[in-house]
Chains A and B, each alone.
Chain A
Amino acid sequence: DTAVSQTPKYLVTQMGNDKSIKCEQNLGHDTMYWYKQDSKKFLKIMFSYNNKELIINETVPNRFSPKSPDKAHLNLHINSLELGDSAVYFCASSQDASNQPQHFGDGTRLSIL
């Protein structure tokens, strides 16, 4: 069974559209994360939730809105997509928020046309 699963794996869309990426973990972890990896493989944290509560909110445009309906799910909605949003978005989870090892999904490759 996949521990952290993201959908979709690929997302190709036009500038200005709104899209969502979903993430689910079956590890029973309390904490989930969204990261953005750019074309140079630099990985930057965007958001983190612990037991459905937002605990990390980096300097991200407010076009990006995370939602955690329960502690096993963390979704990312992006409004008015821009060319610079093209990247790979990774979801991850960890047992708790105390710098524990993180388990990553395989990423969603977002391409903006």
Chain B
Amino acid sequence: SQQGEEDPQALSIQEGENATMNCSYKTSINNLQWYRQNSGRGLVHLILIRSNEREKHSGRLRVTLDTSKKSSSLLITASRAADTASYFCATGSNTGKLIFGQGTTLQVKP
């Protein structure tokens, strides 16, 4: 069953602007991960946030996690054309499976 729901489904911004993507999930989790998928390629892991963490940074990426609201957000600051891709959240739980959301397609216009 699908765990994560992402919002928006598609996002189009200008280079230099910030992009925010949201992910909501339904059951309790051990961690939440964000992945990027460029067209025609496999998914690439970006960042992992544990259930006892609230915020994590990696370069231009900032991830927040609110377990009370069962939601996470991914912020990409100062976006570049190369950030154009689909972004997926995935929840990890005691089942041992990662359950992926349906993704947000980000287009960054030069």
Taking Cβ atoms with an 8 Å cutoff, the residues of A that contact B are: 4, 40-45, 48, 55-56, 90, 92, 97-99, 101-107
A97 touches B48 (CB 8 A): no
Q: Report the Cα distance A49→B30, complex, angstroms.
A: 20
Residue count of chain B within 8 Å CB distance of chain A: 23
Q: Report the Cα distance A56→B44, complex, angstroms.
A: 22
Is B14 at the interface (CB under 8 A from chain A)?
Answer: no
Q: Report the Cα distance A106→B39, complex, angstroms.
A: 10
Taking Cβ atoms with an 8 Å cutoff, the residues of B that contact A are: 2, 30-31, 33, 37, 40-45, 48, 86, 88, 92-93, 96-100, 102-103
Q: B41: which A residues are within 8 A, CB to CB?
A: 106-107
Q: Of B37, B45, B86, B96, which contacts A98 at CB under 8 A?
A: B96
Q: Of A43, A44, A99, A107, which contacts B96 at CB under 8 A?
A: A99
